[in-house]
Structures are given as C-alpha cells and as structure tokens.
Amino acid sequence: MRIKQFLLAALLLFGSPVWAINNIQFQVETLDAQNWQLAGVALTLSELDSTPIKFSLSAKKLTLPAPLDALQFFAIQCQSFIWQEKNIRCKQGYAQLKSRLFGKQAFRFTLQIKNKRAVFKLSHLKIFGGNIKLTLQEKRGYWTAKLQAKKINLQKIQKFLALKTIDSVSGKGTVSAQLSGSMSQLEQAILSALISELSIQDATGKLASEALTLHSELKLKKQGKKWQWQIEQSLSKGAVYVEPVYLEIQKKQPISLTAAGSLDTIHKKINLSSAQLNHQSIAHAKAQAVIFYQDSLMLQQANIQFYADNLAAISSIYIAPFLEGKPFQDIILQGSLSAILAIENQALHQAHLNFNNLHVASQQQNLSIEQLGGTLYWNRLWEDKQASNLHWQTLNIKDIPFAATQLDFSLAAQQLQLLKPARLGLLDGTLSIEKFHFKSNPDDESAVTLRARLEQLSLSKLSEALHWQNTLSGTLSGYIPSVSYQQKKLTLEGGLKMQLFDGEIRISQLAASGLLTDFSQFYIDLEFENLDLNEVTKKFPVGRIQGRLSGFAHNVYLENWQPIGFYAWLGTPEEDSSVHKISHRAVRNIASLGGSSAADVISRGVLSWFDDFGYDRLGIGCYLHQGVCQMTGASAAREGYYLIKGGGIPSIDIIGFNTRVNWTTLVNRLKRITANNMVVEP
Amino acid sequence: MKKIPLIGFLLLTACVTINIYFPAAATEKVADEIIKGIQENQDISPQAHNSHRSLPEWKVSVFRAIDTGLSLIISSAHAEANLSVDSSVIRKIRAGMKARFPALKSYYTQGVLGINVHGLLSPHGKVPLKIRNTVNKLITAENNDRESLYTAIANANGHPEWHAQIKATFTRSWVKHAQSGWWYQDGGTWVQK
C-alpha cells in the first residue's frame, strides 16, 4: 500500500533527531488505492519527547469508488491517531460529508483496525433533520452494519426526493437497521421503523393518513438460495384513508399485521406461509398465499380465514364506504360471522360464510331482519355448487312482516337457485315460491325464472302494515307463472286477484324498475269487477252510493308512486240490476270532481226535500297524459258527459263540461273530499 | 325557350330555409327552472310544468323536417325553438339530483367542494379524510347526472349536437344559483360567492 511505504520512509528519515523537535508534519498531495483517493493528506506527529508520540491525520478530500462515489468526504481530521503494528486507531475523527443526496454535513467518527478486525463508527451526522449513527464492523470478510436514524423529518425527504406520486407528507421517523453479510453478499437484515405523526397524501388523493403512528419491522435471512422473511406492522394511532375506506385508529383497537414466509428471487416467488391481520376487538384474519412477481404481482393461490367479532363496526368502517350512494348505504349489521375464502389465479374460487343471530337494518329501504342466520357456500363453478341456507326469526320489508322461515338454495358462479319450494307466512296468508332461479349475465340481460303463488293475504293486515288511512277488508291471491327482467325492468307474468268490496280487482301486467332508487317506475293494469259501491263508499267517504261498480285502469305508469299516465274508466256495469241510489253529499262531491258545483241546485227547491236520488248509470273516466286528464263519464251528453245519468224518482243528472282537467287539481279535489269528508267547492 | 310563369318565379324566390337555432333564451330559462327545482324542493312531475310545457314531439319533428327539407332552398330565416325538458329520462335524472342536493348543500357550505369552470363539481381544498369518500362519491354521481341531463335534454329536442351549448348555459346557471359562501371557479380561480 503506497501510504504505508511513504510513512515508513518518512519515519526512517526523521527517526533520530540531533536537535529538539516537537512537531513533525508530512504532507502528500494525493494518495490513490483501488479506486479511492485521499487528497491533501497531512500527518502530524506531536509531543515527540513523550511516549507514546501523538499522531494526528487530516485530509482535504476522500473520494470513494462507485457506487459510493456520490459521497465525498472533506476536512477529515483525526485528533487522536494511533498507528501501531496490527493496530490503527482514530479516536476523535471529524469530517464533512458532501453528497447530492444529503448536501454538506459534518460528523464525528472513530476507526479501529486491530487484529484483522475493523470497526468504523460514525455519529452526529445530521441528515433530513435527524441524527444518524452508523457502526460498521468487518473481520475476515464477514461484516455487520448497524444504522440508527432518529427523528428524520419526512417532509425534508419528500422535498429532496420530489416524488410526483406524493402530494404532501409530514411526520417523524426513527429507523434502525442491522445488516450482516459476507464480502459483497447480504445475508441477514433486521429493519425497524417507527413513524409518528405521519400525514401523507398521494397525488390522486386516494391514499392519505393523518397523524398516524406506524411501527414496522422486517427480518430477512438468507437460507440457501431463498430468503426467509418476517414482518410485523402495527398502526396504533391516527387516521388512514384508502379509498373508499376511512379508518380512525383507536388506542384500544390497534391494527396489527404479522406475516412470515420465503422469497425466491430466482423464480420470483413469494411464499406467504402465515399472515395474521388483527383489528383489535373488531375482526381478525389469517391467510396463506403464493405470489409471483415476474412483471406484476400475481396471486396464484390464497386461503383466507376471516372472523368478524363486531359486525357493527365492520359494516360502518369497511362495508358502508363501498355502498355510499347505493340503495343500502345506511345498512347496519350487528352480530358476528366467519368466512373462508379460496383464491386461485387472482380470482375468488370458493367462499364459505357462516353467521348466526345477525341483526340487519336499513332505514332508507325500510328493511329489518332479526336473528338472521345461515350458511352460504359459493363456488366459481356451477357444477361444484353446495347447498346453502338462510333463516330468520323476523323479516320486515317496507313494514310488511314475513314470518320466520328458512330458504334452501344453491349459490354458484353467477346463479342462485332455490333448492326446494319455500312457503313464507305473509299477512295471514302465504307466499309460496315454487321455483326460483336467477342467472346474471354481465354482457347480456339477466335471466330470472320464478313461479310463485299468493294465497289469501289479508288486505286489512296489508293496510295496517302500509299505514293506509282506510283499512281494507278482503283478501289478495294470485299466481305468477313467470317473470322477465329486461333493461332493468322486472315484469311479472300472470296476475293477482283481490277479493274486495264484494267484488274483484284483477291486477296484471305488473312491472317495476328502480324500486330501490330515488326514481322508481311501476307499471300495472287493473280490472274492477262488480264492486259494491255501498262498501266502497263506507271506506272512502265521498258520500253514500248504492249500486255496483266495474271498470279498468290500463297502462298505469307511476313514477315514484305518482301517476304519470293511464287510461281508466269506472262506472255502473252493463245490465246491473242492483239498487241505484246516491246521497246528497255524493252528488255534490261527484259534481265537484267535474269542476262544477251542485250545492246550490240541490240545497234549494224541491230537490232539498230528498235524502237520496235515483240514478240509471254513473261513471267517470280519465285518460291521463302530460299532467292533464281527458275526462269522460257514464255516457256522452250534448256539451259534455254524464257523470251521473238520472233514473227513478227523484232522479238527478250530473253533467261534466270540463273535458280537460289538470291532474294535480283533480287529485287535490279527491284528497279534500276524502280527507274532510266534506263537499268541496270547485 | 320555355318561360317560367311569374307566380312560379315568385314562389321560388319566396322559399325560405328555417334553421332551428339553439334556443339560448329558452335553455337559460329551463336551466334556471331545473336548478331551482333541484335546490328549492320544487315538484318535478310532468304536471308541474304545464306553464313551460315542451314543444310537442310532432312539432319538433315538423321543425326538423322543414329544416332538412328546405335547407337547399335559397333564402333562410332563423327560428328559435322551445326546449323540451319533459321526458322520463330527464325526470329520472332530476329526481336523482334533487335527492342528492341536501347532502351536496352541506358540503357546498363547508367549502369542501365547488363549481368548476365546466359547471361540474370539484373538491375544493383538501377534503378532510373522514368525509372524503362521501364527497368524492357525491361529486362523481352529480357530475355524471349533470352530463347525462345535458345529453338527455339535447336528445329530447332532437339535437344531440346542442350538448355543449346546453352545458355552457347550465354552467352559468349553476354559478348564478350558487348560494352565498359557496365556491366556484372564475376563469380557473376559486372564488367564494
């Protein structure tokens, strides 16, 4: 080594002084060795008359070989320098570091090379606002390195790195690393980081944190051609946002992840032998997986066991964000569930969910389920399906209660099929679902097969459940042989029959879309047959009328349950032989519907002597289009239409002259009639 | 040489092309009405629009036919059509926007979102993490609805090419109807009303 030879020569020349010399200094312009260079070297020997002689060494610049050439050391000084055989020691070193990465920084160091063991210690290095300590040891080719960086300012790191993917970052970090290896090979590493008050936001705004405390530890050990690794991470404080999930980490409910496995750098494979994710008192999960990272990450296989201890917290933290803006965004789940998921080639292959005593509620959709339990098996392949079931103690949909029951079905691929007919107790009657099969086609219309029967549902119970002002009596039955689902519109074939008011109302052409949205559309055709008007007018107080009523409402179209269009007519059936009588009040109200007042006519003169009037026919019709009702009556009159065509003694005719009536006006008149039970003025 | 009768000559020169120009005034009126309906809890059912009822479909068709058929003939005249805003699709979009408005209003007031230069919503400043997902979802849904509304109005009037003009008109109206304290962009700079 050139420096050693130079120093020996210098010592020989000046080793035997004949006069008293206290200090000797040697200066060398440059010293080169193996791609490193020490420039402006000065070795000073002082207090030559004492033992041992004091050495001090200084150098203007040290340039290291690549890749360390980015670091340049200046003003290197060693106040206490010992050079003995097999022992070189610098106890009080001081130097300045200059690099593109760290700027210009001063630090202290010590160096000892003794018995083929070299120890280099660096301290007081201020980088990114933090304090760096480094210890390097080397003996016979085996080396260790310990690094400790305290209170690193993350904002300064970002300012220096100027990462475009990060919008802003702040916080402090303490990092320690212990590395060991042989020659140029790393064999073991333990990295530990404690990040506090971490507030970060990426450029997209989809990933962010506020005052987060994160502790992370990574252990790596080379075994043969593979690396064994172990990770421990914990979040104990602060808030984190990973779109769409926002999580406030409570001190009592930290989140921790521990994982271990191996890394095969030759085959670019990560084997996750065990992973445990624990959100204290809320949920925990275990997983095993095999991941390849050739060009991108590829999850070849994974098994995940998930246990939700507190579904209420899970639904509000982890589920609700995904439902934001969707029909069940306010859903509340309470209880616990377990799930096992199997993933193959990046796709979910199997899922098994088990739950019991769940409480489900959505105020927005007016839904509640108590003691919901079940076992759900899902498989990616329909042929590998297994039986699933759901059961509940109480189920309320739109305040309509369904009795406790169990549904058995298969759930696989994108299909759901009822395994056996289900009978659901409903409004003192039954809903029998004989067949149900749903098949979703992402690229095409979904296919629905349904055969169902409604038997003797109580209309009074229905009125009660739906909080109708007028409680109906009678029953509702029907048969739905099939349904179709096209362009998000569900259409029911077949029909329903209501035995009501001693007559019958038949419902057909039922269709609906967007029932769970802000804009529901509903389509229906109605046929009214031989209803007893006496019964009808008892429930809807428009005034007493005796007789029968038949008619229809075709192409009824409702938006948000408000009629937009229909063609309807209700009136006295042909060849009706029942008693036809109508009261004063009914006459006035019917007249007011047509927009005229009969009050004056019938409350004065002879007509006021009678309580009831006879009629031959009554009828009212409306073709609703663009908010206007085109009115018709029982039959045509000279300048209008008969709402009531008189017959018998005394008889009265009511003729409507307004053929076009604003629908809102008409509805308001109807509302006032039924609400106040009074005659309305036009 | 065959002579053209005088009356025929007069008829030829008297022919006009009726171009249906973008009804700027009607659109502005409609935009004001729709935005008011969304923000002020007004009824959006068809019967509530009798006073501004749309041009009937047959009239639109006739105008379109006239426009196409006479476009080859010599002189031209300008006609400004009314604007139809009464269709099931438009009512559906308006119902969605109306249902969303109370939530949006709260965030307008908090200043975490505002109206950008395109008349769409954008986050304003750093949205607190706790409400960021909700705000982002609302912004996405509202912006989708606004674009769909302009398309639906343009389509309902048989002029899909009006979309940009309708959007520009609505952009001005959104700012006009912004309440005190709300943020909007004026030439790319955020301004508080």
Helix (H) or strand (E) holding B155: helix B129-156
Please give the residue that has the higher pLDDT: either A51 or A541. Answer: A541
Entry field: residues in chain B? 193
**Average pLDDT score over residue span B163-177:** 94
CB A244 within 8 A of CB A320: no
Give the domain ranges of chain B: 88-188
Residue of A nearest to B54 (CA): A626
Backbone angle region of A84, left / alpha / beta, with phi > 0 → left and psi within -120 to 50 → alpha: beta
Q: What radius of gyration do chain A's Cα atoms show?
A: 44
Q: What percent of chain A has pLDDT over 70?
A: 90
Does the pLDDT value for residue A655 go beyond 90?
no
Does the pLDDT value for residue B45 go beyond 80?
no
Residue A611 touches partner B, C-beta closer than 8 Å: no
Torsion sign over Cα A380, A381, A382, A383: negative
- Pairwise CB contact (< 8 Å): A518 & B98: yes
Give pTM, 2 decimals. Answer: 0.75
**Average pLDDT score over residue span B36-45:** 74
Look up residue A274 and give its amino acid. S
Instruction: Give tens-digit pLDDT for A457-515.
Output: 999 999 888 888 778 888 999 998 888 887 778 888 888 898 889 999 999 999 998 87
Residue A494 touches partner B, C-beta closer than 8 Å: no
Residue of B nearest to A248 (CA): B130
In angstroms, the Cα distances linking A490 to A327, A445, A559, A645 are 17, 11, 15, 42
Q: If pLDDT is split at 50, 70 and 90, which confidence band does A598 have? A: low
Instruction: Give tens-digit pLDDT for A164-207.
Output: 999 999 999 999 999 999 887 889 999 999 999 999 999 988 99
CB A377 within 8 A of CB A388: yes
DSSP string, A425-487: EETTEEEEEEEEEEE--TTS--EEEEEEEEEEEEHHHHHHHTT-SSPP-EEEEEEE--EEEET
- Name, in order, each residue with C-beta under 8 angstroms of A519's C-beta and a sequence gap of 6 or more: A559, A560, B91, B92, B95, B96
**Average pLDDT score over residue span A281-303:** 93
> Other C-beta atoms within 10 Å of A274: how many?
13
Entry field: residues in chain A? 682
In angstroms, the Cα distances linking A70 to A62, A185, A303, A326, A578 are 11, 21, 46, 55, 108
Interface contacts (A, B; CB < 8 Å): 73
Distance from CA of A81 to the nearest CA of B (A): 57
Of A409-418, A599-608, A642-651, B153-162, which gets the smallest average pLDDT? A599-608
Q: If pLDDT is split at 50, 70 and 90, which confidence band does B10 have? A: very low
Separation between Cα atoms, residue A78 and residue A583, nearest integer Å: 120
- Pairwise CB contact (< 8 Å): A244 & B48: no
Q: What radius of gyration do chain B's Cα atoms show?
A: 22
Residues of A in contact with B88 (CB under 8 A): 521, 559, 564
Separation between Cα atoms, residue A85 and residue A87, nearest integer Å: 5
Instruction: Give tens-digit pLDDT for A130-142.
Output: 999 999 898 888 8
> Other C-beta atoms within 10 Å of B37: how many?
19
DSSP string, A148-180: EEEEEEHHHHHHHH--TTEEEEEEEEEEEEEEE
Residues of B in contact with A662 (CB under 8 A): 47, 50
Choose from B92, B122, B126, B127 for mutation: most chain A CBs within 10 A: B92
Query: Between β-strands A635-636 and A641-646, what pairing exists: parallel, antiparallel or unpaired?
Result: antiparallel
Residues of B in contact with A663 (CB under 8 A): 47
Q: Which of residues 128 through 187 in chain B touch A, CB cutoff 8 A?
A: 129-130, 132-134, 136-138, 141
Separation between Cα atoms, residue A232 and residue A254, nearest integer Å: 13
Q: Which pLDDT does position A91 carry in this prediction?
A: 83
Q: What is the largest CA-CA distance in chain A?
A: 160
